[in-house]
Structure 1
Amino acid sequence: MAHMANLAFDASTWEIYGSLLNGGTLICIDAMTVLDPEALLRAFGRHDVRTALITPTLFRQYTLECPALISTLEMLCVGGEALHPRDWESAEHLLTGKLINCYGPTENACISTTFLLTKEERCVNGVPIGRAISNSGAYVMDSRMRLVPLGVIGELVVTGDGLARGYTDPEQNTDRFVSIVVAGQAVKAYRTGDCVRYRPTDGQLETFGRIDGQVKIRGQRIELGEIEHVLRSHESVSDAVAVLQHHDGGEVQLAGFITVDEAAATRPLHSLTSKPLRQQFLQKVQQQLHDKLQAQLPLYMIPQFITVLDVMPINQNGKVDRRVLEQQSQTQTTRREPLQQPISDAERTMQKLWARVLNIEPESIGLDDSFFRLGGDSIAAMKLVGKAREVGLQLAVADVFRQPKLVDLSSSGSYTSYTAEEIPAFSLLGNDIGAAKIREEVAIGCNIDMSLVEDIYPCSPLQEGLISLTSKRAGDYIMQSVLELRDDIDADTLRAAWEHVARSTAILRTRIVHHSKLGLLQAVVAEEIRWEEGEELDEYLVKDKSVSMGLGDSLTRYAIIKGGREGKRWLVWTIHHTLYDGWSIPRIMDAVTETYNGAALEKPPNYHAFIKYLGQLDHDATTAYWQTALADCEAPPFPPLPLAVQQPTADTTLELQCPALPKIPSDITKSTLIRAAWAIVSRHHIGSEDVVFGATVTGRNAPVAGIEAMIGPTIATVPVRICVHRDQTVSAFLAGIQRQATEMIPYEQTGLQRISKVTAGARHACSFQTLLVVQPASEEIKKDGDLGEWRSRSDLQDFTTYGLVIQCTLARTAMSITASFDRRIIKNWLVQSLLNQLSFVMRQLARADSQVKVADIDTLTPEDKGKIWAWNRETPAAMERCIHDLFAEQAGARPDAPAICAWDGEMTYGELDELSAKLAGHLVEIGVKPDDIVPLCFEKSLWTIVAMLAVLKAGGAFLLLDPCLPRKRLQLMCNRVASTLALSSHDCVPVIQSLIETGSAIRTVIPITRATILQIPQHASSTTTVRPTDTAYVIFTSGSTGAPKGCRIEHRSACSAILGHGCRVGMHANTRTLQFGSYAFAGSLVEILLTLAHGGCVCVPSEDERIGGLAPAISRMRVNWAFLTSTVLDLLRPEAVPSLTTLCVGGEPIQISQVAEWAGQVHLRQTYGSSEMSGIISSERLTSSSMTRDVGKAGTGIYWIVDPSDHHRLVPIGAIGEL
């Protein structure tokens, strides 16, 4: 073991004790030799060094300077810094031994986790640090020391025997040495401060910089590791470091330092820059590097300067010396091209507005910059419009989307006197009815004095819909929020703050009533809050939930609950969704907090201004828009609503935490990206390119003064129709969806009830069952506040009557995708899969370049792919047997057992074997040989089965002909197989003769009866050798997709199906099978061949019984196993066929009513198969609760479900595809 680490570096303890405590030899190497790769190589050779621990910086330099040094070691451990994937890739071919990436803090005895690098490893997100070593633990946790989900970034917390007792200064222990719960036990742990996540594919730990790597510059929080990650991802950059540099006068700037692949070996630290190298780099990658930074990071995270170094400075521990870089002068740098600054007053005003909304410096915004590329989104656009109004500039959100560049947007606005309009009370009611009469009727509806009614105006479409739904199902659309009060909060002061906010906010004093002539109206009532009290929180919540909130009722309630063993106090706020939306809630909370703290409350804009805007909409233009947008819409709803479910009830919630979406290198918003991703995912689950789902929009895009500060429900639900064209580029696809959203803004407040009345297509579109909601994290209730901790008692499912609601909550560092759904409509596993697919597709769309097409976006997640490969990892072995050999085994073992019970006679296995063998010998004599195809034309008869076995024993292959088929079809089938010999019953000879007369290749027809077989000379015998690969039979498909096709089935294929499915479908020696299927139907071969191979008896009714007396025939022949279509099954009743114990249904889907009738009476199975797959492929036992679509798993083959448009691509689990 080489001992190279500085004794002040914890790695030295690992070198010393790791070697000596395991019986190794420690080779001490001086510092100057460590810095001289050639000298180090000689030292390694001289002392036979086989193991070493070095930093990634030294690893990189040794690889460049002296590759042989890497090749000499049996085990090389790298640690102390993050190992870059490019360093691993450049050294991969040099390694002859093991390379292990080591991670660990001093506080946990140097090494906590390890990762063995193999040649198959492709480190997409950096080289993993692996898993915890023996007697240690490694956990990814959030700030409250709770485990985070797989794939979500959190803080690495380590435990184990190597943990330090603590710091020498006990006061420093509190923040770092903590207690966590592992398997129900409290365990001492150390918080490393490193950001990591479990790699979703295998659970290996990946690093993402340090939590304390976050710095602030101009008020913005920056993660230096994110910047370094982007810089290192450039193909020409070998290493990168980002630092903050503090200059005289207090100026702070962000600087980046990089080395390139051609960097020289270690140089004196005073020679940090190389002008020729810098010039070479600038010529090669300057613009590429700038574009990459701008595409992936917000503007405030882009370094002002990027300096090219020959080599990174290294401290005495072999790590990059950041302090040297922080002090390095900026004499040789690159930065983004000089910005073209605004010239006109309008441009300068717009620049300042952007800076305020995006929280960046005005000087960093140029005329050609895009609002969205600088970090803006739809919410920021709405705020921009509000700020513009404050300075008298009239601007619409749609303008920002249409003209996102500063130079263009500056010219689109106009200056007006834009102040909030004073709207007199009762002025929105119209003049048809006197305000006094309306006021009187409303007061009666509210059961209050008329003088308390301050204002009355119409309801929005959303309010009308929500109050109507609540009247149908009490308790829906009501939120209970609970605030656990801090100990120092004064309850009386808090009550006073709430009362003050309610007096200042009209919507919190609003009720909804029904007027006899005007319909639903909302009334602002001058009333004070009536506070409830209680001692048990849960008891109050149940009681409160049972109190109605309907027409005329107060739509808000407040309570202070005092109780609990620990003396806790809670404030419970109950409010109906007709009074708020996600945008309003945090503003109400902030207003209460500010009022409690003594701040003056600014009265918010009145909600009636929004109602006035709705009343002025152009209804003709609105109707025309929705007629066009939803014309001829027939997109299948997803998830489909079962007949048994009249009204969905969301009773389950699933959540997926995932990293934030990468910055989109275009003007596309994240909301657009999410809509596009869901459309692509939905396409696979409905099997249609025409996709419709619902979307909740903020409504804050409306041109109403102060709408961004207004409290009240401006949200709206709209049907979104997207055509997913596979050949369209992703950029065009996204642009079209964003354009659609922009064009929809003037019409988004129409309301679903009104939209559905426009056309039949619109009515269909409004019946969607998936609602998509996108909101920034700022719209959620803040969990921790000055007053205490909030927790909502009403999750997403309380606010929906849809089968599935997906809510995407966006934040800068993470994204939460929550699904609320009805388990009767869609299963948990499918919802979880949908969330994974949505996240997977979103990230592909965000990273797609201009040439990527929609067809290139993969919806099959790694998780789904892993499951599919696990299911299909083993291909069932083929049965290398012949069909007649399976029969011979049964005949030899049970010669006296019944083989056939037919209307025209019976046979034992011994008789059937003897007669078929005799006929086979004759066929061989007249020239039948392997793979010759012999048509068999019989009515329902035992002699059909005799002929089948005879042809097989002779080595030929049979083709069953149903004499009831049209002559042209029979002629086509015989001509396709070019047969010269046919076997027939006596009655069907004329059928074959007619084929011969019309040009068939058949030249000889042999009628088969007992007499003709017995006349065959005794010396005739079959001596043909039949192989499993020879053709056993030919069966023609139905021709539903064109001309019928003849399928050649080999013996081994048929035997694999026979033996693979027999036991599964209940075949055994006592089986008595109904031979019902037409000879043109593959089911007839299932009935005959499966039965005989398992020693059962084939029961053959006459044609007359088959058509008009099936139930009596089943009873007479004691049939206990049948294979029928659902159409035929409708003709039978369980009580009429008491002998039947096993019923297989196939050929067409079984009906729900049939499952209900038969599942409790017989062993009921639904089968699936095709002629091309030897009949049955799979089957599934059905019970009364089974899904009628279930056909089970593949029995003798493998199921692959592929995209019908691309058979080389698997579809996700749960999606519709081609089998």
Structure 2
Amino acid sequence: MSTEELPLSYAQQRLWFLDQLKPNSAFYNTTITWHLEGRLDQAVLKQSLQEVIQRHEILRTNFITVDGQATQIIHEEINWTISVTDLTNLSSTEQEVAAKQLVQQKALQPFDLANELLVRPTLVVLSENEHIFSICMHHIVNDGWSTGVFVQELTTLYNAYIKGQPSPLTPLTIQYADFALWQREWLQGEVRQRQLNYWQKQLAGAPDLLSLPTDRPRASIQTVAGANHRFVLSEQLTLQLVKLSQEQGVTLFMTLLAAFDTLLYRYTGQEDILVGTPIANRNQSQLEQLIGFFVNTLVMRTSLEGDPTFSELLIQVRKIATEAYAHQDLPFEMLVEALQPERDLSYTPLFQVMFALDDNSLHSMELTGLKVNPIPIEWETAKFDLSLSMENTARGLIGLWEYNTDLFDSSTIERMTNHWITLLEGIVVNPQARISQLPLLTEVEQQQLLIDWNDTAKTFQEMAVEALQTTSLQPNQCIHHLFEERVKQTPDAVAVIFEKQQLTYRELNCRANQLAHYLRSLGVAPDTLVGLCVERSLEMIVGILGILKAGGAYVPLDPAYPQERLTYILEDAQLSILLTQEALLIRLPNLVGKVICLDRDWSVIAEQITTNPITAVQPHNLSYIIYTSGSTGTPKGVMIEHRSLVNFALAACQEYGIKSSDKFLQFSSICFDVSVEEIFPCLLVGATLVLRTEEMLNSTQEFWRLCQEWQLTIISLPTAYWHQLVSELSPQDSRISQDLRIVIIGGEEAQLDKVKLWQSSVAHFPNPPQLYNGYGPTEATVAATIYQFDSVANDVLIGRPLSNVELYILDKNQQAVPVGVAGELHIGGAGLARGYLNRPQLTKEKFIA
């Protein structure tokens, strides 16, 4: 039956090992299919196939184990047949479905490497003059080049035999087994070491993983579920790419690889990119006419550090590719074994992305008397995370993505296709552009990301009507002007409650006016900074409003702060006036010229008139400065102007739907900007602000008891504290007040399980409280976005921008990134702070134009 037992080539050895590891797998099947129209001579087709199989020993080879070693057995003769299926009795629609299913079934049918012919021809008869012809082979006997050889020989033989002529093919001088023997003898000692030295140096310190943005997390063990997506580049763009390659002195492959590296860089932000690419590995002319598994895989490592121009990148890619070609003989499996990269079962070693430029012109068949068209096969496997194959045809470059469907959605790959084409179009227009500046987004995406999704513009009057239901307000108002307008409308409504004390809007306004006049007598004017260090109390709200009405900006200080932090803020802000309470004097550093105790000195302040002060303060003047926590360094004073505060307060009123009948919990320290969200929207609509007590924090039970007792309708809580509260709730929890209609959280990412737990705890409400997630840094005035959870929360999102706020996700080069690609959030619009107090360099760095 067999002539002799021979060793496998290195590449075959790897595939044989993988087959032993995962038997009955079609993962390494390769299939090519054609539609034949015309009179097909089946006998001649079989004769032609027989001759191809007889010419190439590799097609008569099986792979067995002898004494634990993989061995190839070449058969002199082998029984085989074309699988013929007759579908002539079906309708054309039924034929199309059945033929596709049959070809797919044959393509996905595993081969038995030890016992079965590793070539599987299939013929589907649709009619006397219409057939589907398919050839499936195992990769262990075949590669892309070999498929071309197979097709060309089959074509030549069929066209000769159909005319009664003998085979015009010249006999082969060597066979694949000769190559396998030669490879094992030649790739030894110094030759092998020279190749290995190059690759060890080239890949030293390379990253293990290219972190592409995926639609789903990577599984702990790599999956192979896949799909493909085809696309075509225009003939014009193809010609431009060819022309550019010629002008730059590189091959088309090098140009496309450099462009692909650029695409991956823009998607990942990684500057060290490793891409696998196949190489025919037929360095001797005798090998060119052989069928067999010759193809090798090269690792192309490109550095995109320093943001080179595309032309500069091309020079590097040409050098890398040329050197790789000179060291192409080392089998990839031998390289992996020698480098021993840190293995992770969730991805392939050395690279996870593949790129190829294929010449599939040899795959076309021209059979006498037949019109032949290729039929693409839809594969359902993927060897890597992502592979891109480009094929140069007379109609232009054709592309094929093969992608892992456990990682990527088809819509993501479609977007990536558009970005690839847009990038190539940008490259041919301006190859001197830096790779970070080359276009990536389509015009439609630019419109969507930069314009449509930031279509938040509203005038002051529009916001006032929507938030406050009033048309009487004039533009260019400051925050205290809006409060004064509310006082006119509801003077006797309760504005603020603390413990058993309360103030109506008229009373609060009068006290704040008296303080404002007093402060003005001390020289407070627009942009004057006034410190406010008080315990939670009615004086706290009076103090804030009084400073604003005087034209100044309040700088809150928490009495519980350590001495060092109080000292730092007082010195940094250079406060000349500080409002406090007598009991706190002992804790405060003696660093302020004028200290006013709102309790002790009120009799003096109360001598001032109660009318609204008239000041020169404008929307561009400061309303407050809040110092960030300093967790990443020295605390920074964030300067917020009136126009930003007004925009946020009106937007919050509108987004949350705050009403004059609401009772809003004031929970946070005024040193945190979330207090701004609690205080000002509440007072602008005429609702009641309820200051929490220390007693409220004693326990979860006490918190919910007081919420019920105070009949709170809106609570705004730090996310961390809300997590704690929710973790102690039970389904349909009766402790939660039926008055509660809005819960606002923010400050850190909400946990999805806590969101679901919360929804369970209020499931018995006829109208469950609405849960909102606010997001934004202090520099954007409290919140830039708000997200309302729906009743079936599957995600925790930050939501969409507020009115007059713009959001852009940019890469490190300040270029907009596509949907799904990670970037840094940039916030623009009316909410932006003036900058950092006394930190011009940091302001310039963070607040960009």
Instruction: Tell me the TM-score range normalised by the shorter chain.
Output: 0.7 to 0.9
Instruction: Determine the C-alpha separation between the residues in 2 that align with 1:860 and 1:1033.
Output: 39
Matched, 1:675 2:257: yes
Q: Given that residues 622 and 750 in structure 1 are in contact (C-alpha distance below 8 angstroms), is that contact kept between their aligned partners in structure 2?
A: no
TM alignment of 1:760-1159, pairs within 5 A: 760=341, 766=349, 768-778=351-361, 781=364, 787-792=370-375, 794-795=377-378, 797-811=379-393, 814-822=396-404, 825-845=407-427, 854=435, 857-860=438-441, 862=443, 864-871=445-452, 876-877=457-458, 879=460, 880-890=476-486, 893=489, 899-900=495-496, 912-941=508-537, 943-992=539-588, 994=589, 996=590, 1000-1008=591-599, 1012=602, 1016-1017=606-607, 1019-1025=609-615, 1026-1039=617-630, 1043-1065=634-656, 1067-1069=658-660, 1075-1098=666-689, 1100-1102=691-693, 1105-1106=696-697, 1109=699, 1112-1114=702-704, 1116-1118=706-708, 1127-1128=720-721, 1130-1133=723-726, 1135=729, 1138=736, 1144=744, 1146-1151=746-751
Quote the offset at 1:818 in angstroms: 2.9
CA distance in 1, matches of 2:171, 2:741: 77
Asked if the contact 2:218–2:407 (Cα under 8 Å) also holds between the matched residues in 1, the reply is: no
Q: Which has the higher contact order (CA 8 A, sep 6+)?
A: 2
Question: Residues 1037 and 1141 from structure 1, CA distance in 2 versus in 1: closer, same or farther, beyond 3 angstroms?
Answer: same
Change (3 A) 1:907 1:639: same
Cα deviation for residue 455 of structure 1 reads: 4.4
Aligned AA (2:778) = S
**Within-5 A mapping of 1:168-187:** none
Q: Tell me the residue number matched to 1:217.
A: none
Q: Which of 1 and 2 has greater Rg?
A: 1
Q: Deviations over 1:1053-1095 (max 9, x none)?
A: 1111222344335655566555444444333322333344455
Deviation digits for residues 506-533 of structure 1 (CA, Å, limit 9, x no counterpart):
3333445566733x55544552223333
Aligned to 1:607: 176
Tell me, which stretches of 5 or more residues in structure 1 are unaligned?
Answer: 1-450
1:755 alignment partner AA? V
The question of whether the paired residues in 2 share the 8 Å contact of 1:929 and 1:1024 is answered with: no
- Secondary structure of 1:983's counterpart equals strand
Contact 2:9 2:180 (C-alpha < 8 Å) held by counterparts = yes
Q: Structure 1: how far apart are the matches of 2:493 and 2:12? A: 75
Indicate the residue corresponding to 1:1174 in structure 2.
781
> How many correspondences in the alignment?
754
Which residue matches 1:715? 295
- On the 8 A contact 1:505/1:603 being kept in 2, the answer is no
Alignment counterpart, residue 562 of structure 1, candidates 118, 125, 141: 125
Aligned partner of residue 836 in structure 1, secondary structure = helix
Q: Is the 8 A contact 1:915 1:1013 kept in 2?
A: no
User: What is the Cα deviation at residue 724 of structure 1?
Assistant: 0.7
Map Cα deviations across residues 1157-1208 of structure 1 (whole Å, 9 max, x no partner). 5677775555432222212112344567766576534642223444534x5x
Give runs of aligned pairs for residues 506-521 of structure 1, distance below 5 A: 506-513=57-64, 517-518=68-69
| Cα deviation, residue 969, structure 1 | 3.0
- Is contact 1:948-1:958 (8 Å) kept? yes
Q: What is the distance in 1 between the residues matched to 2:719 and 2:803?
A: 22
Task: Name which of structure 1's ranges 865-874 and 728-737 shifts more when overlaid on structure 2.
Answer: 865-874
Distance, in Å, in 1 between the alignment partners of 2:485 and 2:104 is 71
1:657 aligned to 221, 229, 233, which one?
233
Q: Which amino acid aligns with 1:1032?
A: S
CA contact (8 A) 2:496 2:503 kept: yes
Deviation (angstroms), 1:800:
1.6
Corresponding residue number in structure 2 for 1:724: 304
Whole-Å separation in 2 of the counterparts to 1:862 and 1:675 = 24
Q: Secondary structure at the match of 2:357?
A: strand
In the other structure, the counterpart of 1:697 is 278
CA 1:854/1:574 → structure 2, altered by over 3 Å: closer, same or farther?
closer
Q: Could you say which residue in structure 2 is the equivalent of 1:331?
A: none
TM-score, normalised via structure 1 length = 0.55
What's the CA shift for 1:489? Answer: 0.9
Q: 1:933 to 1:645 in 2, by over 3 A?
A: same
In structure 2, relative to structure 1, the CA distance for the partners of 1:458 and 1:966 (3 Å cut) is farther
**1:1198 is the counterpart of 2:815:** no
Letter in 2 for 1:1172: E
Q: Indicate how the Cα distance of structure 1 residues 636 and 644 shifts in structure 2: closer, same or farther if over 3 A, else same.
A: closer
Deviation of the 1:1096 alpha carbon: 4.9
Alignment of 1:81-92 (within 5 A): none
Distance 1:822 1:760, change over 3 A: closer
User: Aligned partners of 2:804 and 2:335: how far apart in 1?
Assistant: 54
> Structure 1 residues 911 and 855 mapped into 2: Cα distance closer, same or farther (>3 Å)?
same
Q: Is contact 1:1122–1:1143 with CA below 8 Å preserved after alignment?
A: yes
Aligned counterparts of 2:279 and 2:801: Cα–Cα separation in 1 = 45
Is the contact made by 2:11 and 2:331 (CA closer than 8 Å) also made in structure 1? yes
Asked if the contact 2:774/2:785 (under 8 Å) is kept, the reply is yes
Amino acid at match of 1:597: N
Q: Which residue of 1 aligns with 2:839?
A: none
Answer yes or no: is the 8 Å Cα contact 2:104–2:377 preserved in 1: no
Task: Name the SS of the counterpart of 1:1133 in structure 2.
Answer: helix
Question: Residues 504, 1074 of structure 1: CA spacing in aligned structure 2 closer, same or farther, 3 A cutoff?
Answer: farther
Distance of aligned partners of 1:747 and 1:791 in 2 relative to their CA distance in 1, 3 Å threshold:
closer
Shift of 1:1155: 6.0
* Structure-2 separation of matches of 1:1163 and 1:467: 58
Q: Identity of counterpart residues, as a percentage?
A: 22
Contact 1:1166 1:1180 (8 Å CA) reproduced: yes
Amino acid at match of 1:984: T
| Deviation digits for residues 631-670 of structure 1 (CA, Å, limit 9, x no counterpart) | 3334652134743645263235252423211422133112
Q: Which amino acid aligns with 1:586?
A: G
User: Per the alignment, in what secondary structure is the counterpart of residue 726 of structure 1?
Assistant: coil
- The match for 1:584 is 146
> What is the DSSP-based 3-state SS (H/G/I as helix, E as strand, rest coil) of the residue aligned with 1:806?
strand
- Given that 1:755 and 1:762 are in contact with CA atoms closer than 8 Å, whether structure 2 keeps it comes out as no
> Unaligned stretches of 5+ in structure 2?
88-97, 161-166, 461-475, 763-768, 827-849
Which residue type is aligned with residue 991 of structure 1?
A: R
* Residue 464 of structure 1: aligned partner: 14
CA shift at 1:1022, angstroms? 3.5
Shift of 1:781: 5.0
Q: How does 1:153-552 map to 2 (within 5 A)?
A: 451-452=1-2, 455-458=5-8, 460-461=10-11, 464=14, 468=18, 471=22, 474-513=25-64, 517-518=68-69, 522-525=72-75, 526-534=77-85, 535=87, 536-541=98-103, 543-544=105-106, 547-549=109-111, 552=114
C-alpha distance in 1 between matches for 2:770 and 2:364:
54
Q: CA deviation at 1:887?
A: 3.6
Q: TM-score, normalised by structure 2?
A: 0.77
Q: What residue identity is the alignment partner of 1:649? A: A
Equivalent residues of 1:561, 1:570 under 8 A apart? yes
